[in-house]
Amino acid sequence: MQRSEHILVVEDDPEIGNLIETHLSGNGWRVSRARSGSETDRAVVNGRIDLVILDLMLPGEDGLSICRRLRASGPVPIIIVSAKADDFDRVVGLEVGADDYLPKPFNPRELIARIRAIFRRMELGSAVPSVAGRKLHFEGWTMDCMLRHLVNPDGAVVQLTPAEFDLMQVLSERPGRVLNRDQLCDLAQVNGQSGTGRNIDILVSRVRAKLEAGGAPFQFIRTVRSGGYEFVARVDPR
């Protein structure tokens, strides 16, 4: 069955690129290919891209630089696939804005599962049924759970990646409740291999930075030592 989502595969190795395209197309997704930063830019300009699969080691501009630029331009989900498989590279990839990191060689079925999980989060979010479609208000801010927008008191939309929005929604739906990293991984459906707790820490750091840049009067997300994280603002669900 043909799906509506359009996936851009940024990979300079023809064999790996063909393998990824074959599996994605076989699962019904529309696929475009790029081999460099300039080709990636042209693909993004020429049509809607719903998800990017990005190699790190590319000719010319490296994948991390491309990831930063893609993230600065909007919330399109990014999955890094790379032969750089150690924790340092994975953490750096997540810190510059990737939603997931899959080391090479990988099982194509795992890549498919991670793509489906990201699209599922984008479509349904992580809200419980009683909250889905509502708006959450706190300190002049508004989270629109249906449109998946976070709006600051000045009316400006704060751009969050799908993973960042899911984390923010999970926390703001449970104000005053301390959630440990394992609970947040489950509730926010954070993908990853080992070290998913570290992924949560990176996401919290990214969300805090965006809230602060958007004019948050204080840190809405409090770190609880040996506990996890707590959303401390008063929330009005309407």
Q: What pLDDT is recorded for position 133?
A: 55
Using one digit for the tens of pLDDT, what is the confidence trace for 31-65? 999 999 999 999 998 888 999 999 999 999 999 99
Between strands 236-237 and 135-138, the pairing is antiparallel
d(CA 121, CA 117): 6
Kindly report the average pLDDT of the chain as a whole number: 85
Q: Which CATH number fits domain 135-237: 1.10.390.10, 3.90.1200.10, 1.10.10.10, 3.40.50.2020?
A: 1.10.10.10
Beta bridge partners of 101: 80
Using one digit for the tens of pLDDT, what is the confidence trace for 59-104? 999 999 999 999 888 888 999 998 876 777 778 888 888 888 888 8
H or E stretch covering 8: strand 6-10
Q: Is residue 20 pLDDT above 70, yes or no?
A: yes
Six-digit token pair at 164? Answer: 């960042």
Other beta carbons within 10 Å of 105: 10
What's the pLDDT band for 117 if we cut at 50, 70, 90? confident
Residue whose pair of structure tokens reads 């049924």 in the numeric block: 129
Does the model's pTM come out above 0.75?
no
Using one digit for the tens of pLDDT, what is the confidence trace for 169-203? 989 988 888 888 878 887 776 654 444 677 888 89
Residue whose pair of structure tokens reads 């997704």 in the numeric block: 29
What's the pLDDT band for 122 if we cut at 50, 70, 90? low
Q: What pLDDT is recorded for position 189?
A: 65
| Architecture per CATH, 6-124 | 3-Layer(aba) Sandwich (3.40)
Domain extents in the chain:
6-124, 135-237
Between strands 100-103 and 78-82, the pairing is parallel
DSSP 25-84: HHTT-EEEEESSHHHHHHHHHHS--SEEEEES--SSS-HHHHHHHHHHH----EEEEES-
